[in-house]
Chain A
């Protein structure tokens, strides 16, 4: 059982994550299609999937915000995250450490790395928490604060962690390359 405030906080934060991801891909569809092709996990004829992914992300993000569609959206979101993790893991095992991850906006040319696999799996697990039954209780103003401010803090911390992990990973790669 989870408290509805915690559930709403999780849903809100993940809705933000998925809507943000969809927006990034939408702004640079051609770039994402290229990154998608470069992953090389699906045959070339499946290239249209690159257009479908932002739509799915949009649906997951929006679906998390409504009680009726939440469970379905959370399932879809967790599956998406796990699929991304698998795609990255497959390419890492092929030894392609210079592949652009395609996970940020048009300017994000970060190469894929191991921490991204773990990040996606951790996010998927966290999203799965919303499947637990929510206790029923009256929400009041304090809950609005918890959910609103909590979502904003989660977003800030996610961006910070993402930047920090990306940088340490890059430096590690540089050290390995130069030694």
Chain B
């Protein structure tokens, strides 16, 4: 009877620990889902090509300032266009990386966040995520011009209005690879590998 009682007590402790572990794992699965949810397989070869002039567009941000994207830049700075949306969880997780890249690369590059849809929702997004310092344009034609299919999407336009890099950016590494592409003057990883060979 004592052995049974002890066995029972030990089992309860183990079951308790086990169910706590299950709960912790379930929560972890939730975190993972949040992170990977909208990342899809896709590299769409549509829209302006890297190495060619980007479409020239006049954009007005939420503060009413005008930005000219494409064409020769008067101030000799490059522009990083980042297409985001309040409804995209990966965009939110990328925002800290965008903010810090903007600071690190401020010597040669300006960041413009681009979105489209309901203006009040965009304003709320800007306020909630603390993006007041970054130019934020709401323009459907811009997304159309760059053929943005999936978010978060980035396009790097250099000081001469040439599109230097474009693609889906899911992480800080993807973002950095855009700057690397401009520094090295190669359009894509494929081009870099074939030139090295």
Contacts and interface: CB of A to CB of B under 8 A. Distances in A.
B23 A167 contact: no
The DSSP consensus for interface residues of chain B is: helix
Contact of A163 (B12, B19, B20, B30): B30
Contacts of B8: 142, 145
Chain A interface size range = 10 to 19
Contact of B19 (A145, A146, A156): A156
Contacts of A146: 12
Nearest to B13: A149
Contact of B26 (A142, A149, A150, A164): A164
Chain B interface size range = 10 to 19
A152 interface: yes
Contacts of A149: 12-13, 15-16
A164 B19 CA distance: 14
Interface string A28-55: 0000000000000000000000000000
Contacts of B15: 149, 153
B42 to A, nearest CB: 14
A149 B15 CA distance: 9
B5 interface: yes
B12 A145 contact: yes
A164 B26 CA distance: 7
Contacts of B16: 149, 152-153, 156
Nearest to A174: B37
A145 B9 CA distance: 7
B33 A142 contact: no
B22 interface: yes
A163 B24 CA distance: 11
A163 B16 CA distance: 18
B30 A160 contact: no
Q: Which of B19, B27, B30 has most chain A Cβ within 10 Å?
A: B19
Interface in A132-176: 142, 145-146, 149-150, 152-153, 156-157, 159-160, 163-164, 167
Given A145-B8, A149-B13, A149-B15, A160 B33 contact: no
A157 B13 CA distance: 15
Given A157-B22, A159-B23, 19 more contacts: A142-B5, A142-B9, A145-B8, A146-B12, A149-B12, A149-B13, A149-B15, A152-B19, A153-B15, A153-B16, A156-B16, A157-B23, A160-B19, A160-B23, A160-B26, A163-B27, A167-B29, A167-B30, A167-B33
